[in-house]
Structure 1
Amino acid sequence: MTSRRHPVQTLTYAPFTPPRLYAAIAETLFSISTTSHEILATWHTPPAPLQGKVAPQSKNPKTQPENEKEDAEEVSPSKAENEAVTAESGDVEMTDSTSQPPIGKRKRSPSNTPTKPAPPSDHVESKKSKRSKKHKPETVAAKLLPNYIGQIVYIPTKHILAVTTLEDKSLRLLDCDSLEVIKEWVLHKRPSAITITDSNSTILVGDKFGDVYAYSIPNTTTTTTTSPSQPELADAKLLLGHVSLLTTLTTVTLPPSQTRSTTAQNANGKAAEKQYIITADRDEHIRITNYPHTHAIHTFCLSHTQFVSRLLITSQNTLLSGGGDDWLGVWDWYSGTLLQQVGLREIIAGIYPDEEERGKLVEKMKGYNTRRRRREGEEEEREVVVAVREILEVEGGIVVVVLEGVPVLLRFEVVETGRVEYRGFTRTPGPVLSLTGADGGRVYFGCDVGDNEKGGLVLYADMGVEEPRVCELFEGERKGLEGVRVEEGEEDAVNERLYSVEGLRKGFGGMGEDE
């Protein structure tokens, strides 16, 4: 099996002069000029904390052999880090020793050990070894996992980026020009969603525990760089919480002319704008919460029967939602009314009318995660599984939808009534993993091109035209944006980080498994 380049997992666009594109590949963030196509700056995430445990010490150290005491000693940070760096990047490995006795038990002397006949060749394992597998492994190899970049948000009024990193569970503010860290927070749990308020003064972070925290954006002209060894935690303000994994969030503001409540007034007695936070979770709920008075829930949007992975407030002030159901929802979010269901399965069937071609796509999608399965008793997958990865609106009221594992960009248009109409699709070189909008209706996106060395890591398409054409940003002159190599043996671990949306489905067997 040949190696492949790691795709771009996160993108964001900054429309200042000159405009820039920020692309994250694994642990590295690139600042790219969209006019000269030069890489202007790079930033690497700091090493993540060691994952895993060391062998426990014996309860009776006097009877423990010297060589086993050495194995049971706690690993010093320097020693563990050196061992972890040499380990393969990927999931934590569980080691089950078969050549040595369990830690903390006395070895039998060879002279006192009864000799037993060797088991027959067709005997797979003894009863004792079967019983031992029921117990937890006694050692977990400490390993330094890649500190992946999770989400990136551009904050225009501050000229900074808000960046989350997953393994060390941190939020950092980076200068847009130099990519130097301005401020850093340690998060309570691993981040799953991030956005900013309409005033660009507060960052909202949702985590996999279901909570949403607010972080005030400091004045960057007076803030000094925070030492990475002394990140802050007390600045966070808990706003609200779900009872399951929070998947996505956005904000919306109603101006005074659209405020439907006569009680919404400011200090001068005039009609005031109202702000809301819209959140969604793995348990199909979409919640509209008042902001900043988040103790008051405004309403719910309830019709999804699978997880909700993406939310978007359109230019017509309607809410678009998508997730594990095979349709997009168009909502009057203020009243919680579902206005329209846009069928996605019918669209996919039109793009792949040939059953054989559709079957090849299904088989390829199964390979993105080795733990992919369905609940016992369900039929084998024969149709494309719908899982919405991205929903984005660009200039001209064009909405672009990306489905996980499906190499197309779906194009919709927001009409005057707030509903959406399907306008067509654009094929891409591989499954789209990242997407961001730019000026003039252009979208930049990152594809998983597999082992295709000619495929570009960053591509773009102008969605405002009738038949958008996919182009490479660098057109063969990548100028250093090669990305890291994913070698054989590491692909499964990388795929599980990249193809994570479908893992939200209950019974999937991957992230968020409900068993």
Structure 2
Amino acid sequence: MSKLTMPYQCLKQCGNLLIAARGSTIETFNLESRSLVSSWKCPSSKPLVSETSAQEEVTAVESPAPAEAAPEESVIPPVKRRKLSLSETPAEENKNWKHNNKGKNHRQAAASTGLDSPAVIALAVTSNGHHVIAVTSEDKSIRVFENSYINLKHELKQLSQRTMPKRPCGLAITDDSSTIISADKFGDVFSLPLVFQETPIPSKNETPVPATTEADSVLFTPAANHLTVHSVRNRKALENQKRQAKPKPDSSGPEFEHKLLLGHVSMLTDVALHTYNGRHYIFTADRDEHIRISRGIPQAHIIEQFCLGHTDFVSRLCIPSTRPEILISGGGDDELLVWDWENGNLLSRADLKGHVEVVCHEHGKAATDGSVDGLKIAVNQIEWIMVGGEDLVVVGYEAVPALFVFQLTAANTLQHIQRIQLAGNVLSFIVNSEGVVVSVDTVHALFSSSEQRNMAEAVDVQPLSTFVFEDQRLVPGPAFEGAEQRHEVPAEELGRLGALLYGLENLRKREGDGRDED
């Protein structure tokens, strides 16, 4: 059976390790030797129940044996059919599902990847390099891993898993590597301690014994008293009520420690932490073209400034370390914007669409005059690096098979200096002083987030491409060992991976959009 190699949707650098998320698996590579050193796979969230046993279970539950033989004239109702989920329905019903539900909001169904385990949708690493944090999509969990070495062999050891009320879409770690900042698509930003001790959950046969506290020892005071109750039965009931403890308040939220820091009235798209002149700040971007600068913990409720100038969603924020007063932002606009964020002033704009049109023209996607009708671009990543004393900014776009390198000039403008052609669409990348490591889409066709790549063309495509700096320019570097030989997936199962690999275009506002998924 023809197979395609699963691409990497997220990349992060942790010391001399490359942390790469591929579907439901996190792999680590040594950046010096470019060899695979460890792998972790998310446990399956789907019960392994055969179809026969499931039918037997339904029959046993829904059609119990009668106590007596039913008379011949009685009619026994038929056994109810178990309602199947979308993934369990026959192929013919799947084809008609979209048509029958036309006009409804099915963002949550679209976000399903079809994998047997929850997919990793975001990664973050601590500044000290000791921990890796990952978000898995379907179970809305934040997982914390420790970089563990046993007999000089590396492995990711999961320390905790916390299920958030809403699916996180952005992660950041404080400078002291002690607190996780999590942003979700409903506009809320929470803080969680990095180190978390999970409380064991009692089994079904074990009755939990609540801890006795001073509040629990206070007896319940009923509204009735001995003057208002006259019958013997009611007096006994009143005495029993007086001996009961006060009922505990109902808590429907997570049981682990988490604090709400701030909130937007729109879907959050990115979050970044920054320290400037001894003060801490939280930068947040949203779907409604806003960039908000708030104070750091514990004054995150105080808004310091807004940067307003985008005309479409803002998807990525970047703050150069050498120029902490500068903010670079991009999203669904045709330009990158450079800000004096402290005063909310727009300093410059850099054209993006023109450079993408050149790439389209070189791949035959443009008309004879070089124009591309209806071209819309979305920035999926912005990274800064200093090379040879110059500030360089590397930018990637969703469903575009190229990286673009800009130089941040002394006048705080972005000057385009290089374009890197790739064998597939850019999904994620890391940048360091040595060069760039790029995750390339091995599944979808160039410039497409839904059309499957030609099988013959996909054979020689490497999931990870490397480039090294030579005189401030990037040139091809050595390949990673083991990346192309793992996680081969049958082509017929890759149809829904577009929801995992691409999602920024869904942020564009369309008429009739409903509320987003949790």
TM-score calculated relative to the size of structure 2:
0.70
The answer to whether the Cα contact below 8 Å between 1:500 and 1:511 also exists between their aligned partners in 2 is: no
Per the TM alignment, residue 351 of structure 1 is displaced from its structure 2 partner at its CA by 3.9
1:208 aligns with 2:199: no
**Alignment of structure 1 residues 157-168 onto 2, 5 Å:** 157=128, 159-168=130-139
1:320 aligns with one of 318, 323, 328: 328
C-alpha change, 1:382 and 1:472, in structure 2 (3 Å) is farther
Per the TM alignment, residue 42 of structure 1 is displaced from its structure 2 partner at its CA by 1.0
One-letter identity of the residue aligned with 1:211: D
Distance 2:104 2:442 in 1: 42
Match of 1:87 in 2: none
Match of 2:429 in 1: 435
Match of 1:423 in 2: 417
The answer to whether the Cα contact below 8 Å between 1:145 and 1:167 also exists between their aligned partners in 2 is: no
Match of 1:349 in 2: 357
Match of 2:258 in 1: 236
SS in 1 for 2:471: coil
Match of 1:44 in 2: 41
Distance 2:478 2:512 in 1: 36
C-alpha change, 1:247 and 1:94, in structure 2 (3 Å) is farther
**Alignment of structure 1 residues 294-333 onto 2, 5 Å:** 294-314=300-320, 315-317=322-324, 318-333=326-341
Match of 2:442 in 1: 449
Structure of higher CA gyration radius: 2
One-letter identity of the residue aligned with 1:487: P
User: Which string of whole-angstrom CA distances, capped at 9 and with x for unpartnered residues, describes residues 395-431 of structure 1?
Assistant: 3221100011111110011222333221121111111
TM-score calculated relative to the size of structure 1:
0.70
Per the TM alignment, residue 348 of structure 1 is displaced from its structure 2 partner at its CA by 2.1
CA RMSD of aligned residues (A): 4.0
Distance 1:304 1:11 in 2: 27
SS in 2 for 1:492: coil
The answer to whether the Cα contact below 8 Å between 2:181 and 2:189 also exists between their aligned partners in 1 is: yes
One-letter identity of the residue aligned with 2:310: H
The answer to whether the Cα contact below 8 Å between 1:503 and 1:511 also exists between their aligned partners in 2 is: no
**Alignment of structure 1 residues 62-461 onto 2, 5 Å:** 66-69=77-80, 71-72=81-82, 92=87, 146-157=117-128, 159-177=130-148, 178-218=155-195, 233-255=255-277, 273-292=278-297, 293-314=299-320, 315-317=322-324, 318-353=326-361, 356-358=364-366, 382-396=373-387, 397-440=391-434, 442-450=435-443, 451=455, 452-461=458-467
The answer to whether the Cα contact below 8 Å between 1:386 and 1:404 also exists between their aligned partners in 2 is: yes
Distance 1:425 1:385 in 2: 19
Distance 1:326 1:6 in 2: 30
The answer to whether the Cα contact below 8 Å between 1:301 and 1:333 also exists between their aligned partners in 2 is: yes
Per the TM alignment, residue 184 of structure 1 is displaced from its structure 2 partner at its CA by 2.2
Per the TM alignment, residue 204 of structure 1 is displaced from its structure 2 partner at its CA by 0.7
The answer to whether the Cα contact below 8 Å between 1:316 and 1:414 also exists between their aligned partners in 2 is: no
C-alpha change, 1:134 and 1:493, in structure 2 (3 Å) is closer
Match of 2:24 in 1: 27
The answer to whether the Cα contact below 8 Å between 1:29 and 1:43 also exists between their aligned partners in 2 is: yes
Distance 1:347 1:135 in 2: 37
The answer to whether the Cα contact below 8 Å between 2:463 and 2:483 also exists between their aligned partners in 1 is: no
Distance 1:444 1:4 in 2: 21
Per the TM alignment, residue 296 of structure 1 is displaced from its structure 2 partner at its CA by 0.8
The answer to whether the Cα contact below 8 Å between 1:4 and 1:485 also exists between their aligned partners in 2 is: yes
The answer to whether the Cα contact below 8 Å between 1:254 and 1:275 also exists between their aligned partners in 2 is: yes
Residue ranges of structure 1 left out of the alignment (5+ in a row)? 76-83, 85-90, 99-124, 256-272, 363-380
Greater displacement, 285-294 / 489-498: 489-498
User: Which string of whole-angstrom CA distances, capped at 9 and with x for unpartnered residues, describes residues 172-193 of structure 1?
Assistant: 1111232011122211211111
C-alpha change, 1:226 and 1:328, in structure 2 (3 Å) is farther
Per the TM alignment, residue 492 of structure 1 is displaced from its structure 2 partner at its CA by 2.9
Report how many aligned residue pairs link the two structures.
411
Greater displacement, 454-463 / 3-12: 454-463
The answer to whether the Cα contact below 8 Å between 2:348 and 2:412 also exists between their aligned partners in 1 is: no
Distance 1:135 1:404 in 2: 26
One-letter identity of the residue aligned with 1:165: T
The answer to whether the Cα contact below 8 Å between 1:201 and 1:217 also exists between their aligned partners in 2 is: yes
Distance 1:487 1:235 in 2: 41
One-letter identity of the residue aligned with 2:506: G
Per the TM alignment, residue 2 of structure 1 is displaced from its structure 2 partner at its CA by 4.8
Greater displacement, 181-190 / 457-466: 457-466
Match of 1:7 in 2: 7
User: Which string of whole-angstrom CA distances, capped at 9 and with x for unpartnered residues, describes residues 482-503 of structure 1?
Assistant: 3433434333310122111122
Distance 1:481 1:196 in 2: 31
C-alpha change, 1:68 and 1:401, in structure 2 (3 Å) is same
Distance 2:512 2:486 in 1: 29
SS in 2 for 1:277: strand
